[in-house]
Structure 1
C-alpha cells in the first residue's frame, strides 16, 4: 500500500490514537479501568492500538499484519479472561501461565502461542501506560521452544503442485462463461504467477500498484513496499512475468480495482477465497496451506539456481540471511545426489 491510501491509513491510526492520548491522565485511567471491569474487548483493543501507535518502535508505520495479530490476541485473551473470571487489573500469579497451557493443549502451534503472548504483554503495557495497573502477569511466563525446522512447519509447495494449480487457473480462465468471470479468473492466475515468480509476501503482492511495475526490456522489476518497517526494495522479474503482467493489464483495463492497484483483493482472506479452490484434491481434501509456502517455493528455486543465500535474502527482503536459511533445505537434497554418485 502506497501513496494517498497509505497516508490515509496512517492518519486514521493517528486519529484513533489521539482519542486516548488527548485525554487527561485521570480520565484515561478511568476509562481503562472501566474497560477492564467490563472486559470490553473493543475498548481494550483501542487502548492497545493507541499504545502501539504512540510507543512501539514503528509508531504509526506499524504494519497492518502486526496490528491484526495483536488484535486477534487481545480479543482471544479477553474472551479467556471472561470465561475464567480473571480480575484483569490484578490477575492471579498463575493466570497467564494457565492461559498459555490452554492454548498449547488446544493444538495451537508454538509460533501462534508466542504471538498471543506478545499480545498479552502489550495489553498490560498499555494498561500500565494508562495508569490502570502495575501488574506484569506475563513477566515470568514460560514457553516451550519450537524445535521444528521452519520447513517442517510450513514446507514450500512442490513443483508438481504449483504446476497443477497454475494449470487449473489457466483452464478456469478459458472455461469462464462471461467476461466478468473471465476477468476474475485472470486476476487469480496473475496473482499466482506473481507469487511464484517473485516470492512476495501476500501483503506485498496485494499492495502492488501499476506504477510499481517496470516491464521494460532491459531489467524488468517490481518496486515492493514491504509491510515490515515500510521498507522498499527492487525485485527483478522474469521477462515471462513482465509479459504476463502487461497482457493482464490490457485485459482487465476496464475492470474497476482499488485506485490503481494491480489486484482487487484487500485482505489475505479475500485472496485465499479465490485461490483455495484450485488446490482441491479428488478425494475431497485440499492442499492449500496459505501463501507463505509460495514464498518458500520461490526462495528454494532461486537458491537451487544461484547457490547464494545472500542473493536470495535480498530478493525476498530478509534483513537476516539466517531467516533465508530457514526457507531453503538443501543439505539432504545435495547429500542424496552425492550418495547416488558413490
Structure 2
C-alpha cells in the first residue's frame, strides 16, 4: 500500500508537475485512504465500491465539507486510474461515487440602509471625479437596485427603441424593456428616482458618447460601457459612500429582490420582475426574507431568548 501511494505521489510531482500545495492535499487524501483501509481491513488493491461509499459517508459524518470530500475522492479516483493503467486493479472503485451536494450559498444582499446610501451618494468636488461619470454611475445604481436588472441587460440598453436595440427605456411610460437570459424580453417598471437620474445622465451623455454610439451607458472613451468597467466604478462608488461590504452589480439585483419581497411578500411578482423562468429560482429569496424576520424576532420579541 505504502509503495503504491509513494510511487503515485512521485508520478504526480515529476510527471504531472502538480504544485506543492496540491501535492500536500493529495498526500493527505491518500493518508485518509490508508487509515480507512487499515481499519477495515482491506488491501489497497482490493478496495471495492462499497468501501469507498462507506468511507465517503464517514468523512461526511466527521464534518468534512462536501467540497473537501470531492477533493479526496478525486485524489483516490486518480490513484486507482493510475493503478488500472498498469493492470494492478481490475476496476476503479471510486468511479460513480460522488461527494454530497454542497448547500448553495444564499445570495448576498445589502441591508436597506446601505443600499439607500449607495443610491443616494453624491460625490462632492473633493472626490475629484468627473461629474458626467458620477451622473452616469448614479443612474446605473438606480437602475440596478430600482429595477433588478442584470449587468448584461443594463449595458445592453440603447438610447432609443430600434430593431437592433437589445433594450431601451421608455421614459414616458416609465418602463425598461430588456433582453434577458435565453434572449427573452421582459418589461420592468422604472421608479421616479431612476427616471430623475436617467434625465440627468441624458443631459450629459452627449459630452462623452461618440456621435454614432447607440449605447445608453458609455465609458469616458465614448463607447459602450463594459462589465469590468461597471464593476470597477461600482466598487469605487461603494467605498465613497462608506459601504463596508464589497459591492458587485449582481448584489444590487439580489438587494432589489430581497427588499421587494420583504415589503410585499409577493413571490410571483418578484419572479416576473426578475425574469426567472422557474419560480424555484426566485424562492431562494424567501430564505433571505426568513433570515431577516428571524433577526427582527430575536431583537424585538420578549420571548425570543431561544439560545
Give the shorter-chain TM-score range. Answer: 0.5 to 0.7
Q: Which residue of 1 aligns with 2:279?
A: 321
| Shift in Å, 1:275 | 1.7
User: Does structure 1 residue 155 correspond to structure 2 residue 114?
Assistant: no
Q: Give 1:268 shift.
A: 2.0
Task: Give the C-alpha shift of residue 282 in structure 1.
Answer: 11
Task: Report how far residue 267 of structure 1 moved.
Answer: 2.6
Aligned pairs for 1:174-193 within 5 A: 175=126, 181-193=130-142
Instruction: Determine if contact 2:132/2:201 at 8 Å carries over to the other structure.
Output: no
TM-score relative to the length of structure 2? 0.57
**Are 1:331 and 2:290 matched, yes or no?**
yes
CA RMSD in angstroms, aligned pairs only: 3.9
CA distance in 1, matches of 2:241, 2:113: 16
Q: CA-to-partner distance for each residue in 1:26-77, whole Å, 9 max, x for gaps?
A: xxxxxxxxxxxxxxxxxxxxxxxxxxxxxxxxxxxxxxxxxxxxxxxxxxxx
Greater Rg over alpha carbons, structure: 2
Counterpart of 2:158 (choices 198, 209, 231) is: 209
Matched, 1:308 2:257: no
Structure 2 residues without counterparts, runs of 5 or longer: 1-11, 19-25, 30-65, 71-94, 161-167, 220-224
Distance in 1 between residues matched to 2:132 and 2:227, nearest whole Å: 19
In structure 1, list runs of 5 or more residues that go unmatched.
Answer: 1-79, 87-97, 102-108, 114-138
Cα displacement (A) at 1:306: 2.2
The CA distance in 1 between the partners of 2:283 and 2:179, in whole Å, is 23
Instruction: Measure how far apart 1:143 and its partner are.
Output: 5.0
Match of 2:145 in 1: 196
- How many angstroms does 1:314 deviate by? 0.5
TM-score (norm 1): 0.52
Query: Which residue is equivalent to 1:84?
Result: 16
Question: Is residue 222 from structure 1 mapped to residue 176 from structure 2 by the alignment?
Answer: yes
Pair 1:259–1:332, CA change in 2 (3 A): same
- What is the total number of aligned residue pairs between the two structures? 209
Asked whether 1:340 is paired with 2:289, we answer no
By how many angstroms is 1:330 displaced? 2.0
Give the deviation of 1:214 after TM superposition.
Answer: 0.8
Shift in Å, 1:206: 0.9
8 A contact 1:215–1:243 mirrored in 2: no
In 1, Cα distance between equivalents of 2:239 and 2:176: 31
- 1:141 Cα shift? 7.8
Q: C-alpha separation between the residues in 1 aligned to 2:282 and 2:190?
A: 19
Cα shift at 1:298: 0.4
Return the match for 2:123 from 171, 185, 191: 171
Q: Is the 8 A contact 2:234 2:248 kept in 1?
A: no
- Which residue is 2:253 aligned to? 295
Distance 1:141 1:255 in 2: 57
Superposition deviation, residue 84 in structure 1: 2.9
Sort the Cα spacing of 1:141 and 1:274 in 2 relative to 1 into closer, same or farther, 3 A.
farther
Which deviates more, 327-336 or 246-255? 327-336
Of 98, 112, 131, 1:142 maps to 98
Question: 1:281, 1:287 within 8 Å by CA — same for their partners in 2?
Answer: no
Question: Offset at 1:177?
Answer: 5.7
2:235 maps to 276
Residues 235-273 of structure 1, C-alpha deviation per residue, up to 9 Å, x if partnerless?
111123223212220122232158221112543211112
Task: Give the C-alpha shift of residue 223 in structure 1.
Answer: 0.3
Aligned partners of 1:278 and 1:144: how far apart in 2?
40
* Match among 243, 246, 262 for residue 216 of structure 2: 262
User: Contact conserved, 1:176 with 1:182, CA < 8 A, in 2?
Assistant: no
Q: 1:223 to 1:282 in 2, by over 3 A?
A: closer
- Contact 2:208-2:218 at 8 Å conserved across structures: no
